[in-house]
Amino acid sequence: MSLPTVGLLHPGAMGSSVGAAVRAGGAEVIWASEGRSAATCERAAGDGLTEVATLAGLVEVSDIVISVCPPHSAQDVASSVAALGFGGTYADLNAIAPASSREVAGIIETGGGRYVDGGIVGPPARSPGTTRLYLSGPGAESVAALFDGSLLGVVSLDGGLGAASALKMAYAAWTKGSAALLMAVRALAAAEGIEQDLVREWDLSQPGLSDRSADVATRTPEKAWRFSGEMREIAATFAAAGLPDGFHRAAEAVYEGLSPLRDREHSFEEALLALCETEGDN
Amino acid sequence: MSLPTVGLLHPGAMGSSVGAAVRAGGAEVIWASEGRSAATCERAAGDGLTEVATLAGLVEVSDIVISVCPPHSAQDVASSVAALGFGGTYADLNAIAPASSREVAGIIETGGGRYVDGGIVGPPARSPGTTRLYLSGPGAESVAALFDGSLLGVVSLDGGLGAASALKMAYAAWTKGSAALLMAVRALAAAEGIEQDLVREWDLSQPGLSDRSADVATRTPEKAWRFSGEMREIAATFAAAGLPDGFHRAAEAVYEGLSPLRDREHSFEEALLALCETEGDN
């Protein structure tokens, strides 16, 4: 059998590593360069992805389209593909709520395509065992097969459409939710003038926590702009299950408070100060 | 100099260990048995505390009164002592917001007493190094001196009245807040039918987390009724500092959801089910 042609939207840091994993599995991967940055162009070339000019050109020749984008763009990306009459398989691998994933499924199926629900756990897949792609729903096998022998592990879930998105939401609910809580606690301690006392107590009774909090504070601001949309999706997932959504509404406020530090040199103290300027209105 | 007489309100599991620590320092400790349970009576006797019948009798002979009670009772306990014209030193060691502590200070000082702000970190002080008493504000030294050579470590903070309460709030904001988040995440995974998949992913990339979540789910329900009041105090502390209060409003809902399991045999699954029945209205 001939290998499918895969269209990748878009080759960001994570997306390009997904494209590289498909290439390792043998299929050709194309991407649409219209409106993308020079950095994206370089990254895609480095991962052996084939450039086409426009989204229309990508949709025309792709058997499978894979969406890897910020959570708040997932519906728009799907709509633009469906509007071009895409009739193949569309895999959304984004960090969105199960209800959002079902919404994207509706957009794709109305346009004549077949939908596969996905979610990625871990950093960009650049070494073995660090990153897993969860897939669910009919058609998952055809997407899973693309990654045979690649650095991206694939786990197909039984739960039906939305299960992979639910897994991603639950996983990130802890990792990114607890990171936001930890930042907020450090900011509170700083605001109350007892930060060093808290760190001394942590070093006695919560080993590793002060290091983790410092690490989160220095590494998070660059990514915070993406995380706030993900926190909204997680909060919606909790509310839909009849669980409290306040943890992740607060985490959204924390990441929004940190977003202004993006692409700026910033210190741990600046990160905490940015939080103290966050409105406590949730 | 003669040692002061210390009145303890009340000898619960934590309070009685504080009384035992004062006894180890040499001072006499009295408690008021009116309306208290047989279990409390037995615990107090076991720790060498002297029983008097009424609160009035306790206030009359105490140089220092120590309050160790559920957060939601702190103001009532202080008011009942102030109403009896207590003119000595009153130490509130409860898990309350700095603003609540200043409120209790006003109650005590209006009644003619002197106030010391405190907070306890750790389990009941039954072995060395597990538990620390934080103190702040004028008069802290006189309370600190009670515990010389006891199992309860004492740390006096420079930050002035409210610093010890702030330290306790920030510490519990992480420990009890992250525990509530972890329970809610497990409940979400159960509701979405991907709990075992999440645990498998945690075992790969978040070592120890599934064990921690199971431990929290089995041990928390007995204590949840106390924790919800503490979460309200923590949420108020965040809001007063201009930080998001949603983490701990959600944690309050989690602990309220678990409270019905108090004093009942319950399984991990029952604990999760109790959460899924929580209203997500915060």
What per-residue confidence (pLDDT) applies to B277?
A: 67
Task: Tell me the mean pLDDT in the region B81-86.
Answer: 98
Closest CA to A274 of A205, A207, A201, A190: A190
Q: Whole-model pTM?
A: 0.95
Mean pLDDT of chain B: 94
Task: Tell me the mean pLDDT in the region B35-63.
Answer: 97
Residue bearing the bigger pLDDT, A262 or A232 = A232
Q: What percent of chain B has pLDDT over 90?
A: 84
**A119 touches B at CB < 8 Å:** no
What per-residue confidence (pLDDT) applies to B276?
A: 77
- Is a pLDDT exceeding 60 seen at residue B280? no
- Is a pLDDT exceeding 90 seen at residue B263? no
- Distance from the Cα of A275 to chain B's closest Cα (Å) equals 7
Best of B243, B252, B255 to substitute, by most chain A Cβ atoms within 10 angstroms, is: B243
Task: Tell me the mean pLDDT in the region B263-271.
Answer: 74
Q: Do B247 and A250 touch (CB under 8 A)?
A: yes
- Is a pLDDT exceeding 60 seen at residue B1? no
Yes or no: say if B55 and B84 are a contact pair by the CB < 8 Å rule: yes
Q: Which of B159, B202, B246 sits opposite A246 (nearest CB)?
A: B246
**A56 touches B at CB < 8 Å:** no
Mean pLDDT of chain A: 94
Task: Tell me the mean pLDDT in the region B28-35.
Answer: 97
Q: CA torsion angle for A17, A22, A28, A29 (degrees, to 10)?
A: -40
**B167 touches A at CB < 8 Å:** yes
What per-residue confidence (pLDDT) applies to A23?
A: 98
How confident is the model over A23-32, as pLDDT tens digits? 999 999 999 9
Q: Which of B129, B184, B191 sits opposite A247 (nearest CB)?
A: B184
What per-residue confidence (pLDDT) applies to B278?
A: 57
What are the respective helix, strand and coil percentages of chain B, to the nearest 5? 55, 15, 30
The dihedral of CA A232, A238, A240, A245: what is its sign?
negative
d(CA B158, CA B164): 9
Yes or no: say if B147 and B222 are a contact pair by the CB < 8 Å rule: no
Residues 227-256 in A contacting B (C-alpha not used; CB under 8 Å)? 237-239, 241-247, 249-251, 253-254
Q: CA torsion angle for B132, B60, B75, A199 (degrees, to 10)?
A: -10
- Distance from the Cα of A203 to chain B's closest Cα (Å) equals 12
Q: How many cross-chain Cβ pairs, A to B, lie less than 8 Å apart?
A: 213
How confident is the model over A153-171, as pLDDT tens digits? 999 999 889 999 999 999 9
Residue bearing the bigger pLDDT, A111 or A281 = A111
d(CA B22, CA B44): 13
- Is a pLDDT exceeding 70 seen at residue B282? no
Q: Which of B157, B204, B239 sits opposite A280 (nearest CB)?
A: B239
d(CA A128, CA A122): 11
Q: Which of B167, B188, B237 sits opposite A173 (nearest CB)?
A: B188
Question: Out of A82-91, A140-149, A272-281, which region has the weakest mean confidence (pLDDT)?
Answer: A272-281
Q: How confident is the model at residue A278 (pLDDT cuts 50, 70, 90)?
A: low
d(CA A26, CA A176): 34
Residues of chain B neighbouring A202 (CB-CB closer than 8 A): 171
Q: How confident is the model at residue B261 (pLDDT cuts 50, 70, 90)?
A: confident
Q: ipTM value, please give it.
A: 0.95
- Is a pLDDT exceeding 80 seen at residue B265? no
Q: Do B251 and A247 touch (CB under 8 A)?
A: yes
The continuous run of DSSP H or E covering A233 comes out as: helix A224-240
Residues of chain B neighbouring A119 (CB-CB closer than 8 A): none
Task: Tell me the mean pLDDT in the region A198-222.
Answer: 93
What per-residue confidence (pLDDT) applies to B2?
A: 79
Task: Tell me the mean pLDDT in the region B207-221.
Answer: 91
Residues, chain A: 282
What per-residue confidence (pLDDT) applies to B97?
A: 98
Residue in B closest to A202 by C-alpha: B171
Question: Out of A39-53, A82-96, A248-262, B177-191, which region has the weakest mean confidence (pLDDT)?
Answer: A248-262
How confident is the model over B149-197, as pLDDT tens digits? 999 999 999 988 999 999 999 999 999 999 999 999 999 999 999 999 9
The contacts of residue B95 (CB under 8 Å, 6+ apart) are B71, B119, B120, B165, B168, B169, B172, B230, B233
Residue in A closest to B121 by C-alpha: A201
- Is a pLDDT exceeding 60 seen at residue B238? yes
**A198 touches B at CB < 8 Å:** yes
Task: Tell me the mean pLDDT in the region B79-104.
Answer: 98
Yes or no: say if A250 and A180 are a contact pair by the CB < 8 Å rule: yes
Q: Do A242 and B276 touch (CB under 8 A)?
A: yes
- Is a pLDDT exceeding 60 seen at residue A281? no
Residue A95 zone, left/alpha/beta (φ > 0; ψ -120 to 50; rest): beta
